[in-house]
Structure 1
Amino acid sequence: MTEQLMVKQERAARTRDTLIRSAAEVFDRDGISGASLTAISSRAGVSNGALHFHFASKAALVDVVEEEALTRLLAVTNGALSLGTSRVQLLVDVTHALAEKLRGDVVLRVGFALSGETSRPRRMDLRERWRRWVEETLKQAESAGELRRGAGVQDVVTAVVAATVGFEVLGVRDPAWLSASTVARLWRLLLPTLVPAAHLAGIEAGGPRRP
């Protein structure tokens, strides 16, 4: 591969990434139906022709934004479990990480919002992916004996998913809903019903400690 070709490919990749982010920003601001390709190309600083070179239509661009958002969600949920960390603590930590990402990552935020778009076919459905991850993590916690006797996994899944998706929706207009203090308040409420009293002190509701 020649150096010139490599430079062209790198430039094309950068343009594509810029278009994805610009599209997410316009979708976030104007909604999917109100967003125009002209607004997206203008925000990205490229011509309409350059946009169409990478994406044939607005629908194709929406799909790619959603795909990128899923990649980012998986990066949040698929982190390695530190030695000695319980599954319950992992769940707490990941809800904090997700809230932080939703505050600052417009692509991820739009990807979650697309789950609520009833006018388009369900493809990735980030909210459903999140529900599945929460459920699987709680089942693993139950198998490891980390849950309080009588704590129904599905009941906890319902509470955690409803709360976190609610924070995601409310956080669009008020970022305080996605703050670490809001997520910590949720866990301070839930943990006594979820974890045996003897283990409660070992769970940090505030999520991972910052260095």
Structure 2
Amino acid sequence: MRTRETLIRSAAEVFGREGFTRASLTAISSSAGVSSGALHFHFESKAALADAVEAEALARLLALTRTELPAGTSHVQLLVDVTHRLAHELRGDVVLRTGFALGGELSRPARTGPREHWWRWVGEELERAEARGELRAEVTAQDVLTVVVAAMAGLEVLGVRDAMWLSAATVSRIWRLLLPAVAPTALLADLEIDGTRFR
């Protein structure tokens, strides 16, 4: 198990640096400090290794989004909190970051990965917010989903080269502009753009 975990992390580092197409199994096994034979014992191909990185990234994202709504917290606040947490994790977790990036690789077959789960989770939370009257009457869950997903995808891509894009300050700036257009005035005073302590 330790060798498999090391290979997944090394693959994430190499895929993240070189992209799926240019990355080589030799570079991955060398980075992991294991033989080519050990790599092939665990993974039959580069595609299988990329699938494993993406699956591990999805598992980490599932753990991040599998959150009970704390008493007295709105679904909008939960969304703010989780976007902060996701940005923080993308900044420091190479497996999560690369798992997201692999989902955008056109040279790989399309599959349900971290990005798709993220879009679905945001949409579900926004539908719950809409049902509870936590969105302005003139705004739909789909409207907000479009903006939140596009904003986070932009931060994810820009953050690969400059971690400032995934900083708490950047996420807060987005919510500072977005929340007044999304949340009813009565709810705005209770929302914290910097996020609450993640529970």
Runs of 4+ in 1 over 3 A off after TM superposition: none
2:182 aligned residue? 194
> 2:86 and 2:165 mapped to 1: Cα distance?
12
CA positional deviation for 1:156: 0.8
Corresponding position of 1:175: 163
Is 1:83 equivalent to 2:71 in the alignment?
yes
Name structure 1 gaps, 5 residues minimum: 1-12
2:100 counterpart residue number: 112
Shift of residue 61, structure 1, vs aligned partner? 0.4
- Equivalent residue number for residue 162 of structure 1: 150
- What is the letter of the counterpart of residue 33 of structure 1? T
Residue 19 (structure 2) aligns with: 31
Q: Check conservation: 1:76, 1:94, Cα contact below 8 A.
A: yes
Is the Cα–Cα contact under 8 Å of residues 115 and 125 in structure 1 kept in the other structure? Answer: yes
- Deviation track 1:67-107 (CA, whole Å, cap 9, x = no partner) reads 11111111111122211111000000000011001001111
Task: Report deviation, 1:29.
Answer: 1.1
TM-score by length of 1: 0.91
Instruction: Indicate which of 103, 120, 126 corresponds to 2:114.
Output: 126
Q: Which residue of 2 aligns with 1:6?
A: none
Between the aligned partners of 1:57 and 1:151, the Cα distance in structure 2 is 47
Query: 1:40 & 1:118 partners in 2: Cα distance?
Result: 21
Q: Aligned pair in 2 of structure 1 residues 187, 25: CA closer, same or farther (>3 Å)?
A: same
State the structure with bigger RCO (CA 8 A, min sep 6), 1 or 2.
Answer: 2
The answer to whether the 8 Å contact 1:112/1:127 transfers is: yes
Identify unmatched segments of 5+ residues in structure 2: none
Q: How many residues align?
A: 199
Backbone CA RMSD of aligned residues: 1.4
Give a deviation string over 1:105-133, Cα, whole Å, max 9, x none: 11111111112111211112322221111
TM-score, with length taken from structure 2: 0.96
Query: Which of these residues, 182, 198, 204, is aligned with residue 192 of structure 2?
Result: 204
Q: What displacement does 1:64 show?
A: 0.7
Amino acid at match of 1:164: M
Maintained 8 Å contact 1:67/1:124: no
The 1-side partners of 2:60 and 2:112 are apart by: 12
SS in 2 for 1:116: coil
Q: Say which one has the larger Rg.
A: 1
Q: Distance in 1 between matches of 2:22 and 2:106?
A: 15
Shift of 1:150: 1.0
After superposition, what is the alpha-carbon deviation per residue over 1:148-204, rounded to whole angstroms, capped at 9, x for unaligned?
Answer: 211121111111110011100111111111000000000010111111112211000
> Hey, what's the Cα distance between the residues in 1 that align with 2:107 and 2:35?
29
